[in-house]
Structure 1
Amino acid sequence: MTFKQIDLNILRRVSEADGIGGCEREVSRIVAEYGAPLCDEIIHDNLGSTIMIKHGSGHGPKVMFSAHMDEVGFMVREITDAGYIKLLPVGGWWGHVMPAHELTVTTMTGEKYIGIVGARAPHGLSQKVKNTVIAPMDLFLDMGVKNRQAILDLGIQIGDMVTPNTKFRVMNDPDLLCGKGWDDRVNLGTMLEVMRNLEGVHTDADLYFAATVQEEVGIRGARTATHTILPDVAVALDVTTATDTPLDTAGMKLGGGLVLSMVDHLTLSNPSLIAMMTQIAQANDLDVRYDFMTDGGTDACSIHKMLDGVVAMTASLPTRYMHSPRLLISRTDYEQTIRLLTVFCQQIDWQHLDGMKQAIGIQAHQ
């Protein structure tokens, strides 16, 4: 089939949107805006996940794709008398990556204000202090005001969302793209691009593209979305760690092609589903790699344990500098993943799914 040229504006908008766990509304609206013309129906569960449905023949399996909308960020937990904001991490942060970066505070009314994470000057510090990483709970945001009342006058309150202030950028090699929130906003783009490729294309399966909430704080949205969809098979879309910088020793590089996750800390991918994806990749001249992630998990860890069990796996995209204000991804990896999943949507049917179940000793569906 002919694949559409990717729309970088989708990636720019989902990357630059602000949305920590529990505050994904801004992201959800962008996803729904792009998804509405490409699907038959959009529904929401009561936790806030956005589920875009493309109906198939009416006789095929339900296929769920899942990519989470939330990014790692912070909440305002205290406003000092001197006008500094103390932060509560929402998701996994390493304090080393934060000092001197700009963050955006988003108020309950949607107003946005920029502050700077406080950082000490090195002059006069002992070597011990210089070598100590600041704990995220000890970080503070300097809003450039003189006192607490000035913060309150801006409309900033305890509990307001705080996120990195990072703009999307095509790097000097145009294959590399910089942005915030690629974990997992890049795969919101993946789902929307697959939907673009399938516009006007018949599938046997009913396709459910779920933009889920609260993954970074306990993989929560995938659970409620699964109960809403009741899928027969599911593919979680997430990122994995690129290890191709001078800080690393070997392994996963950007631009090497799509990645199928065999195992992570919380999930064993269905081997027959992995095999089907591998066959599609090879038949379409796509570069396929495999990932074994021993720390962390994806939406698949919740999905595969829901209901009476769901045939599931994770497809991953490598990213440099995960859980930091700026991440890098490869356009090549992104495009290859989109092509793989587009073809998968056209091929998956009960015959394939029954074969996957029978491979682990389960009787075919009636």
Structure 2
Amino acid sequence: MTKEIIGDINLKMLEEFSEAHGISGNEKEVSRVMKKWLQPYADEISYDNLGSIVGIQKGAQDGVKLMIAGHMDEVGFLVREIDSQGYIRMLPVGGWWGHVLPSQTLVVTTKEGKRYQGVVGSSAPHGLAKEVKEKVIAPMDLFLDMGVDSAEEIYELGIRIGDMITPDTKFTVMNNPNYLMGKAWDDRLCAAMIVDVMRLLKADSKPHHCNLYGVGTVQEEVGLRGARTAANMIHPDVAIALDVTTSMDTPMDKGQNGLGKGVILSVMDAGIIGNKNFLYEMESICHDLGLDINYDMMTVGGTDADNIHKAHDGVVSLTLSIPTRYMHSHRLIVHRKDYWQTVLLMSEFARRLDRNMLSKLKEGHNS
């Protein structure tokens, strides 16, 4: 049975976002990809001093400033040590679970931009004690085998301490074409969604009133740093942070949210309680558009909204979540419906956002 493919989604764009290499503090390649896809729809493109990219789509001169943010960095590693045999010890950048790493291939990127593949070392199970088999290896204890004889060969390749290490993964459309697999969906998927929001708004016959700032932030995985500097530069009135959340529909993770269920509104996480009026407005738009509504409440972890909402004298903020399987691993799976419904929701919110709505969102907070 042929599955109906959901949404007007450019798979080439998603492939380029996913396959770009860029851990926290090394997002330049991703930023170039985002700039390429933003340029047809942005009136201006600028950067903050940490490297977050800002595409501006202008509305009215006095229009409300709407910031939509998705972070560009992915989890990965830095070269921490090179031993005499040429094995590389790695420093995790972002959260890794030791179980997902042994025998996986990783790519080292040199200062000159050259890339070399290695494999994370692992032990054969034969003869291992039961307690060893059941123990999770700490990422700091793992090593990368580059298939060389010595440290000298590593240095001849141009690899040095501090070089970036990233998963070696190709974008894949799954057997049901609505399921998409790739690396770095946390959070490149959401950076791509910003491009699609701007594309839809650009195609409207009547321009939107708000001034839209589409932001690819940096260094989210190590402390939401780019969100802080970008928000302070833009000084938005309203902000939407886009990020992934755990899809609770596998034999390992069981819960309410899962792939293909549509929009997820984040009520709160460890760093923010979403603006309630904003939440209610998004619910109303979902009802108007016939979009599915789900909710996310996390007691650990956070998103760029955690820092954005505290900028200056406070920003009306909300997080929209995209369910994702196998976060912080080599291969993540997402669903086209969740992507597309969230794009439609944000586009319609931007169309409706004006001074009157801003006042409505702030009711009860400043009076």
Q: What's the TM-score, normalizing by structure 2?
A: 0.97
Of 100, 104, 109, the match for 1:106? 109
Contact persistence 1:304–1:312 (CA under 8 A): yes
Of 56, 60, 68, the match for 2:59? 56
Counterpart of 1:74 in structure 2 is 77
Q: Does 1:157 align with 2:163?
A: no
How many residue pairs get aligned? The number is: 360
Q: Does 1:237 align with 2:242?
A: yes
Of 25, 31, 36, the match for 1:22? 25
Shift of 1:200: 4.2
Of 220, 224, 228, the match for 2:233? 228
Contact persistence 2:260–2:335 (CA under 8 A): yes
Shift of 1:250: 2.4
Shift of 1:258: 1.0
Change (3 A) 1:306 1:215: same
Which letter maps to 2:49? N
SS in structure 2 at match of 1:37: coil
Q: For the aligned residues, what is the CA RMSD? A: 1.0
SS in structure 2 at match of 1:204: coil
Counterpart of 2:151 in structure 1 is 148
Shift of 1:249: 2.8
State how 1:109-124 maps to structure 2 within 5 Å. 109-124=112-127
Separation in 2, partners of 1:286, 1:212: 27
Q: Does 1:208 align with 2:243?
A: no
Which letter maps to 2:310? K
Separation in 1, partners of 2:154, 2:248: 41
Counterpart of 1:125 in structure 2 is 128
> Which deviations, in whole Å up to 9, do the C-alpha atoms of 1:62-88 show, x marking residues without a partner?
000110000000000000100100000
Shift of 1:288: 1.1
> Which deviations, in whole Å up to 9, do the C-alpha atoms of 1:88-118 show, x marking residues without a partner?
0000001111000000101111000000000
Separation in 2, partners of 1:23, 1:223: 17
Contact persistence 1:4–1:196 (CA under 8 A): no
Counterpart of 2:359 in structure 1 is 354
SS in structure 1 at match of 2:40: helix
Shift of 1:248: 2.2
Of 318, 326, 329, the match for 1:321? 326
Separation in 1, partners of 2:64, 2:173: 38
Which letter maps to 1:97? V
List runs of 5+ in structure 1 lacking aligned partners: none
SS in structure 2 at match of 1:34: helix
Separation in 1, partners of 2:337, 2:361: 29
Q: Does 1:192 align with 2:198?
A: no
Shift of 1:15: 0.3
Contact persistence 1:16–1:166 (CA under 8 A): yes
Shift of 1:189: 1.1
SS in structure 1 at match of 2:265: strand
Separation in 2, partners of 1:123, 1:168: 34
Of 38, 42, 50, the match for 2:41? 38
Contact persistence 1:261–1:315 (CA under 8 A): yes
> Which deviations, in whole Å up to 9, do the C-alpha atoms of 1:5-56 show, x marking residues without a partner?
2111111100000000000000000000110111100000000000000010
Shift of 1:186: 0.4
Counterpart of 1:344 in structure 2 is 349
Shift of 1:251: 1.8
Identity level (%): 52
Counterpart of 1:93 in structure 2 is 96
Which letter maps to 1:65? I
Q: What's the TM-score, normalizing by structure 1?
A: 0.97
Separation in 2, partners of 1:327, 1:196: 25
SS in structure 1 at match of 2:69: strand
Of 309, 313, 316, the match for 1:311? 316
SS in structure 2 at match of 1:173: coil
SS in structure 2 at match of 1:278: helix
Which letter maps to 2:86? G
Separation in 2, partners of 1:286, 1:245: 24
Of 181, 185, 191, the match for 1:182? 185
> Which deviations, in whole Å up to 9, do the C-alpha atoms of 1:342-361 show, x marking residues without a partner?
1111001111110111232x
Counterpart of 1:300 in structure 2 is 305
SS in structure 1 at match of 2:54: strand
